[in-house]
């Protein structure tokens, strides 16, 4: 359960970083 939780949080962080990079590239 803890491993899944960590992976989920990491996925959210990666998604956020990806979205941020995408917006920066678009701009």
Q: What pLDDT is recorded for position 27?
A: 63
Matching residue, tokens 């949080």:
9
Its pTM stands at 0.51
pLDDT tens figures, 1-27: 777 777 888 888 888 888 888 777 776
Helix (H, G, I), strand (E, B) or coil at 16: helix
Q: What pLDDT is recorded for position 12?
A: 84
């Amino acid at each position: 359960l803890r491993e899944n939780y960590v992976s989920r949080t990491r996925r959210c962080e990666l998604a956020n970083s990806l979205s941020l990079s995408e917006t920066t590239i678009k701009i």
